[in-house]
Copies of this chain bind each other. A is one copy, B any other.
Amino acid sequence: MGSLYTDVTENNPASPLNPLDPEEFRRQGHMVIDFLADYYSEVDKYPVRSQVEPGYLSKCIPESAPNQPESIETILKDIQSHIVPGITHWQSPNYFAYFPSSGSTAGFLGEMLSTGFNIVGFNWMSSPAATELESIVMDWLGNMLKLPQSFLFSGGGGGVLQGTTCEAILCTLTAARDKMLDQIGGDQIGKLVVYGSDQTHCALQKAAQIAGINPANFRAVQTFKSESFGLSPVELLKQVEADIAVGLVPLFLCATVGTTSSTAVDLLPGLCKVAAKNGMWVHVDAAYAGSACICPEFRHFIDGVEDADSFSFNAHKWFFTTLDCCCLWVKNPNSLVRALSTNPEYLRNKATELKQVVDYKDWQIALSRRFRSLKLWMVLRSYGVANLRNFLRSHVRMAKVFEGLISLDTRFEVVVPRYFATVCFRLVYSSDEIDGDDEVNNEINKRLLEKINASGKIYMTHAVIGGIYVIRFAVGATLTEEFHVRDAWKVVQHHANLLLSQIQD
């Protein structure tokens, strides 16, 4: 293997070691496994939010690629010195920001195997196992979620793994758009209207934009504190009727179960009724909260999904499957295929022509696709359904613990109901003004959060809901245990004490 590290020149193409030499792969692979195992052992010691300044890395890295090879030992040293400090440690047990990105050994190994095989599974033919395992696992998971049969392959629908919810929404929106344009004429795209709430993830607006929906025809229907910021069928209907009255065509509703800001839940049954009456496609985005719905006690949050057209959740958020892995089910796969299929000669093959197989390239934006089902399959098998439920429950239980700790400190309040494992809370400094001007409280909570995050001990992020700045505490990092949550609360209290004493000075 020495030859890889001898001088290589353009005119001396002496054969260096093959880049896939199995024994060198083995040697370096074991080194990186140990590197990562050590990383997990020590991840709780790093500042959770990276503390580097913009531009830090260009100071540590040469301006151009090396001409000569460098050893794995050198590279790993650089990763430890230069990359690790620039990472925000999403796998840290003290990570409570955004939503979790919950890794697991099984998810990691599935990704390794997929990367190792490195197949490009655009259609069945290109690697039958990739397509077939995906279809099987999507039915497994659909059953775990008690999705109606109509969403499963066994019931005429079907599931597909996308990279992200953004892609899932763009694909279903494109399918809905083309179905509608088939009915009303291809030149009517300017009349189509897309609906979400003011709490819907920005992915919807972006998807509408990419799909050529007139930006003026995007509706973020208002939600209210009195309804816990869930989209109400009454408000949707008002907007739909107003649009129809001016000659527009309602197209697509994205309803959310577990919004990004506050994990609010839109009221699916009523929303689906409004949509059905007006010929709209309903997509249910349960990116974060979908996982929890494998537990019987949480399943009710997606009641009504049977009347939607599509449903998605991100296994890479809170389901122990590494990024990226968004699970999408549709009732009518043909509408996806109608909008997204291409059939170039160079991909023609017998299995496709005999219509014996699913060709997932026609269910997504890209042609190429990784063997993502492998990691999901390994997560389901390695842990089993009972454990998976219990893991999720343990996160919810820890969020409840945190909520309990908040309630014991009268300086704080929980701002919206906690449904899952995310708590939205704030320090109430200016209590006389709770119902009036929130500016003072907002500013104080912003300062408090920045102090906490700058400490590096824990990491949380914020949202503004109904004008109120809230601190979000999202439990779900795989390594988090109850003592991390209790310690996190102490960090919050400590910085609140400091801040309040400074203000009062």
Contact = CB atoms under 8 A, between A and B. Distances in A.
Contact of A126 (B58, B88, B340, B393): B88
B478 A20 contact: yes
A127 B87 contact: yes
Interface in A52-91: 52, 54-58, 61, 64-70, 72, 74-75, 79, 82-91
A463 B261 contact: no
A237 interface: no
A340 B461 contact: no
Interface stretch (A198-206, A274-282, A402-410): A198-206
B105 A117 contact: no
A496 B394 CA distance: 64
Interface in A1-23: 4, 8-10, 13, 15-16, 18-23
B117 A90 contact: yes
A440 interface: no
Interface string A123-155: 011111110110010001101100000000000
A384 B90 contact: no
A284 B262 CA distance: 43
Kindly name the residue among A64, A86, A214, A384 whose own CB sees the greatest number of chain B CB atoms within 10 A: A384
A202 B129 contact: no
Contact of A381 (B52, B66, B88): B66
A113 interface: yes
A351 interface: yes
A428 to B, nearest CB: 20
Contacts of A167: 365-366
Given A13-B393, A19-B391, A108-B118, 10 more contacts: A24-B105, A28-B105, A52-B129, A55-B356, A57-B128, A70-B384, A90-B119, A166-B365, A210-B340, A260-B346
A41 interface: yes
A359 to B, nearest CB: 11
A113 B187 CA distance: 48
Contact of A166 (B87, B126, B367, B374): B367
Nearest to A177: B212
Interface stretch (A29-37, A412-420, A497-505): A29-37
Interface in A357-392: 357, 365-368, 370, 374, 378, 380-387, 389-391
B351 A54 contact: yes
19 contacts: A8-B384, A22-B37, A52-B128, A64-B140, A66-B385, A70-B381, A86-B128, A86-B129, A86-B133, A91-B118, A108-B118, A115-B115, A115-B323, A170-B210, A187-B214, A189-B189, A206-B365, A209-B340, A346-B461
B88 A119 contact: yes
A189 B211 CA distance: 11
Given A136-B58, A214-B186, A478-B20, A344 B260 contact: yes
Interface stretch (A96-104, A225-233, A486-494): A96-104
Interface in A166-222: 166-167, 170, 174, 177-178, 186-187, 189-190, 201-203, 205-206, 209-216
Contacts of A117: 39, 87, 89-91
Contact of A384 (B28, B69, B178): B69
Copies of this polypeptide in the complex: 2
A55 to B, nearest CB: 7
A161 to B, nearest CB: 13
A224 interface: no
A302 to B, nearest CB: 18
A255 interface: no
A399 B367 CA distance: 26
B90 A385 contact: no
A394 B13 CA distance: 9
A143 B189 CA distance: 42
B56 A132 contact: yes
A368 B128 contact: no
A94 interface: no
A120 interface: yes
A22 to B, nearest CB: 4
A19 B478 contact: yes
A321 B89 CA distance: 25
B206 A342 contact: yes
A464 interface: yes
A91 B322 CA distance: 23
Nearest to A69: B384
A32 B124 contact: no
A305 interface: no
